[in-house]
Structure 1
């Protein structure tokens, strides 16, 4: 209730956020809710966490950064690009293996050892934390080396999703949030990867130092931690830190 009263009393402003691609469906809903309640305008840019991190270091005029990991926001804090007290975990991501080709069954990940698999999409682990999770999963299943020459490496999870949706690959690792947002049925062509096969994809947000004087940015940061926002985030398959 306190957050809502703060939001409603604020005059309209503008803010710019940079967000990891996996969070796009949820963030778009959150922006709509926030703007309806406050009148603030929120402009979002989406991409891999690594590319957005570099843009911020080179002076990109963002107010908030929604990363798909904890390391990049922390690094921005350590190098005085962001504020330590404004770093929070906003979601815990979940990974899925998905195929858009009929007749492909992915349950238990056995398809990763099949001769049917000729092309496998995953995000670049140097740019996207979900790419790290995908490679960790392959290692856990003893399929890392055996599939490596069949990888189609994407610049972001959005591109990995596109490779699978168009049928250009046999299967690919994508965020659960994207499958939910696209209304994709969780049948035999979707395998939600067990959490024990990869390190938790803990996703942190942080307020950038240049934006300490932007009330709209601080209010959006507060809003993301509200019960209303958390309910929206979990509806896309994310976990939440209590």
Structure 2
């Protein structure tokens, strides 16, 4: 962790005993794939610092549009590394504040045990009615899913079977409910201790789709909020990085 970030975090903990007068709230836009770990992190963050993180979950592309239209978010936990950079260039994020907090993993998943044994072979055989994926225009996991199908040469073959979710949370819901027999979702949605905990799945090799580097960034509305800066520092703590990794993410 950068020395200045470590120092700010240490000062946050030293000031905590002075009471709730120093506690603050931070409005956080969180990519849908990071829902489960972020809920756990928010609880720990409040316990350890006294600050509260108010969370909103959704597609990164939609958060970008909302932020540009004046939404009161102070921190963005993006599902990619391009949106934070774009916001920085456009003056909506603080230069130098962004960093990769997680590297996402894509999985072809079904709640049916044993169904997904050889992912590419299953996709080529087409023994299913519907395949779910997130919207590739607004969700980086959807873009990774589309790149995977392109790599396998199956975009045209499977186009009539695709069911598109607004974000990765809705995509998971399609598959978990049985409306789609299988789908491309985030490993973190079905992982425990870094492994698929239910159903069956094929973890897509990272070399056949663009890396899903998920960046956090301090937005301009949060530049004077101590809770916003404390949250970004908190995400870089070793114990929080270990928690993130336990949900199936890679780390840089």
Q: For this structure pair, what is the TM-score category when the shorter chain's length is used for normalisation?
A: over 0.9
Alpha-carbon separation, structure 1, partners of 2:114 and 2:238: 41
Q: Aligned residue for 1:185?
A: 197
Q: Aligned residue for 1:70?
A: 81
Aligned length: 240
Q: Is 2:50 aligned against 1:31?
A: no
**Superposition deviation, residue 2 in structure 1:** 4.1
Q: Aligned residue for 2:133?
A: 122
Q: Is the 8 A contact 1:3 1:226 kept in 2?
A: no
**Superposition deviation, residue 80 in structure 1:** 0.4
Q: Is the 8 A contact 1:25 1:181 kept in 2?
A: no
Question: TM-score when scaled to structure 1?
Answer: 0.94
**Superposition deviation, residue 181 in structure 1:** 5.8
Deviation per CA, 1:23-58: give whole Å up to 9, x if none: 111111111111001111110000000111111011
Q: Is 2:30 aligned against 1:19?
A: yes
Q: Is the 8 A contact 1:98 1:173 kept in 2?
A: yes
Q: Is 2:14 aligned against 1:5?
A: no
Q: Which runs of 5+ in 1 are unaligned?
A: none
Q: Aligned residue for 2:95?
A: 84
**SS in structure 2 opposite 1:85?**
coil
Alpha-carbon separation, structure 1, partners of 2:56 and 2:167: 13
Q: Which runs of 5+ in 2 are unaligned?
A: 1-5, 17-21
1:1-242 matches, within 5 Å, as 2=7, 4-8=9-13, 9-10=15-16, 11-101=22-112, 104-180=115-191, 185=197, 189-241=200-252
Q: Is the 8 A contact 2:94 2:220 kept in 1?
A: yes
| More displaced stretch, 225-234 vs 123-132 | 225-234
Deviation per CA, 1:124-143: give whole Å up to 9, x if none: 00010000000111111111
Question: TM-score when scaled to structure 2?
Answer: 0.90
**SS in structure 2 opposite 1:174?**
strand
Q: Is the 8 A contact 2:93 2:217 kept in 1?
A: yes
Please tell me the root mean square deviation across aligned C-alpha atoms, in Å: 1.8
Alpha-carbon separation, structure 2, partners of 1:30 and 1:78: 29
